[in-house]
């Protein structure tokens, strides 16, 4: 499963990562929300690998500032990729792992606030992918769901502070930020306040492995990708 597709300009790094992992087919392409930095390279990906299905929580004709939904849907249809619509509370399997969609859709015009979080559970191990949700929406999701997770992707690239109730409910043992050290100062401060160790996905490869009971977290150099 690939969760979000990045910007169109990210394709060289994405392709290098897929080559390094030996992946030419993606069973599930899950899109948290259709901002161009999360779905922009869909067209390019379809030129280099095949998709089993594409999952979206948004209408196929969804429009908005920085939204690339219609272009991505057209590319998927041209490639004959099945499009599956998911929403709050939907669950699906990924091999032996279980995935649950967590989303607030209250007709909020802010796309980030309605983006779909994903809880991935394999055995006793849980990974929470928080998309770009921020503010009060995180608090509502923490009240609605069991968001406890071992590892958490920090919401919205670390740009915003996180509601205390959310991070207390998640109680992560480790977090990672998809932004560099600059621009994620508020996220770093939130994690520091709650004593959560963290690292940056922009400074090398963060590689997580689980046997369903324990996690192994490795930092690997970008040089492995030959880019």
Q: How far apart are CA 173 and CA 82, in angstroms?
A: 36
pLDDT band with cut points at 50, 70 and 90 for residue 105: confident
Write down the pTM of the prediction: 0.95
User: Same domain, yes or no, for 81 and 91?
Assistant: no
User: Same domain, yes or no, for 69 and 95?
Assistant: no
pLDDT in tens, 68-95: 999 999 999 999 999 999 999 999 999 9
- Domain range for 162: 87-227
pLDDT in tens, 172-201: 999 999 988 888 999 999 999 999 999 998
User: Same domain, yes or no, for 187 and 153?
Assistant: yes
User: Same domain, yes or no, for 159 and 63?
Assistant: no
Strands (E), 69-173: 83-85, 91-94, 97-102, 117-122, 125-129, 151-153
């Amino acid at each position: 499963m690939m969760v979000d597709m990045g910007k169109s300009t990210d394709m060289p790094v994405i392709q290098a990562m897929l080559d390094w992992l030996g992946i030419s087919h993606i069973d599930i392409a899950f899109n948290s929300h259709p901002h161009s930095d999360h779905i922009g390279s869909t067209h390019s990906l379809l030129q280099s690998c095949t998709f089993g299905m594409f999952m979206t929580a948004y209408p196929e004709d969804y429009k908005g500032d920085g939204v690339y939904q219609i272009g991505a849907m057209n590319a998927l249809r041209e490639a004959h990729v099945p499009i599956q619509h998911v929403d709050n509370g939907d669950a699906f399997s990924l091999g032996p792992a279980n995935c649950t969609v967590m989303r607030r859709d209250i007709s909020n015009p802010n796309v980030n606030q309605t983006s779909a979080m994903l809880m991935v559970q394999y055995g006793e191990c849980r990974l929470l992918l928080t998309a770009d949700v921020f503010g009060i929406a995180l608090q509502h999701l923490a009240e609605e769901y069991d968001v406890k997770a071992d590892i958490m992707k920090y919401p919205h690239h670390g740009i915003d502070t996180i509601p205390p109730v959310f991070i207390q409910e998640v109680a992560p043992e480790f977090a990672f930020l998809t932004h560099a050290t600059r621009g994620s100062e508020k996220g770093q401060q939130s994690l520091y306040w709650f004593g959560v160790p963290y690292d940056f996905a922009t400074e090398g490869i963060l590689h997580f492995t689980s046997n369903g009971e324990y996690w192994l977290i490795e930092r690997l150099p970008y040089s492995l990708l030959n880019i």
